[in-house]
Amino acid sequence: MKQYKVGLVGIGAVGTEMVKVLRQRKFPASEIRILATRERDEEIAGETFHVLETKAEAFDGLDVVLFAGTEGSKGASKMWGWEAVKRGAVVIDNGDDFRMDDRVPLVIPEINPEALDKHQGFIANPNCSTIITLMGIAPLHRANPLKHMTAVTFQSVSGTGRAAIDELDAQVRAYAASGNTPANAGLANVQKSAYPHQIAFNVLPQIGSAKKEMPGFTTEEAKMTFESRKILGVPDLQIGCTCVRVPVFFAHSVAIHAQFTNPFTPEQVREIIKTSAGVKLIDDLSTSQYPLPLDIQHGDAVGIGRIRIDSSRENGMALWCCGDNIRKGAAQNAVQIAEEMIKRGLI
């Protein structure tokens, strides 16, 4: 099998997971060259990597470069992405800077791999919540075209990055040591840097900043709308979305209410999910079986459950999706894109 020289820009939560996924999936890499803001050594899963400072010449000789920017992190792919392409590499970018660029395919390999065929050297990873949502809804859309979708997300703190994981952990520990009661769970002088409010024992109905072009909506909610339309190839699809940060370390959950062109039964939906790639059916309300973040975290598949008719709309269906945002929502999807490009002879 041909071996490929892989570059990786960024070594935070997503970058670290990308290295693990490359190794776990036995990606044919003769080299993994890690680039960051400064030169140093990093140990990942028992393996030591010498990290190089990101410079233009550091991309020379690489076949594929993964940009591992945490959601909302700006700059790396804008500064270096097209330079890496110019030097002969295929870029797969986890950041959001180029997702809606007409030159750049936005790809979930289980859903729209054919979009890779027209790539210009630069491919974008969708937003983590978009990936998890569409893994559940796209197989149904293929069988019965989607007309409208409402999604409410319940997003873990790891989507913000390592600092947010540490912040939730610190707040929970501070509460345990404070003598507070459940009736008084607010913490005085609580550490707040990743979020404007205490996240422990709380939910924050804001992810991202205000979207100027969509008054009242956030940038995260706009991503769900515009990215879903691009991936599904339905530019006028009606989508309503509210994105919420919850005190969970890993895995995003999404409650979806969808309207389809024709009627669906829950049994038909379950059969489609059972035969779709990258998802697993966990759906038995009588025995309290449904996807949970604690069960789904660190796994490869997106769990689908709570499937039922939504009688509030014609041809309505409701379902619940849950997936690890750092793996399938970021690192794993990027590596799968590279695998699909190899399969198609595009690298």
Catalytic hit among 128, 243, 321, 322:
128
Token pair listed for 334: 């990027």
Is 128 a catalytic site residue? Answer: yes
Q: Which residue has the tokens 């491919």?
A: 123
Task: Report the C-alpha gap between 91 and 239 in whole angstroms.
Answer: 29
Report the distance separating Cα 239 and Cα 149, nearest Å: 5
CA torsion 93-99-104-110 (nearest 10°) is 80
Q: Checking phi first, is residue 179 left (phi over 0); if not, alpha (psi -120 to 50) or beta? A: left
94 SS3 class: coil
Instruction: Specify whether 257 is catalytic.
Output: no
Which residues, at least 6 apart from 53, have a Cβ–Cβ distance to it below 8 Å?
35, 36, 37, 38, 39
Say which of 119, 141, 241, 252 is annotated catalytic. 252
Query: Could you tell me if 309 and 284 are in contact, meaning their C-beta atoms sit under 8 angstroms apart?
Result: no
The torsion angles phi and psi of 316, rounded to 5 degrees, stand at -90, 150
Catalytic residues: 128, 252
